[in-house]
Amino acid sequence: MQKFGVHYTPDTAFVGYVLGWLLLFVTVVAGVATVQVWQRRPHFATLCYLLGFWWMGIGIGIYLAFGRTDNLLLDSLKGLLLVVLTRICQVTRMTARRYS
């Protein structure tokens, strides 16, 4: 918390509680997306894109709010990797289905 210049108050405890539930929600969405990819469900890409853009948003938001380029790079790259891999998976899956 010192790295970001935050001191512990009841407000930070509240934000921590809300953030904990948000991270639990994202973990569940990531788990559902993983199961959908594993089972080759047709609509797996929606959750994967959602998670990818969410990660990119986190990186950009932390950079704009705190000026931390390391978070911009790491979080945005994670999101971009997820979006690109999802797109590659969709394209190869469509061509494989079309010609088989």
Distance, in Å, from the CA atom of 96 to the CA atom of 36, rounded to the nearest integer, reads 19
Angstrom CA distances, 6 to 56, 57, 73, stand at 23, 22, 22
pLDDT by residue for the chain (100 residues), tens only, comes to 677 777 888 888 888 888 888 889 889 988 988 888 888 777 788 888 988 998 898 888 888 888 888 878 888 898 999 999 989 888 886 554 554 4
The pTM of the full predicted model, rounded to 2 decimals, is: 0.68
Which residue pairs from 56-59 have beta carbons closer than 8 angstroms and sit at least 24 positions apart in sequence? 56/80, 56/83
Of the candidates 75, 80, 51, the one whose C-alpha atom is nearest the C-alpha of residue 64 is 75
Q: How far is CA 57 from the centre of its chain?
A: 8
- Provide the CB-side half-sphere exposure for 39 (13 A, CA): 10
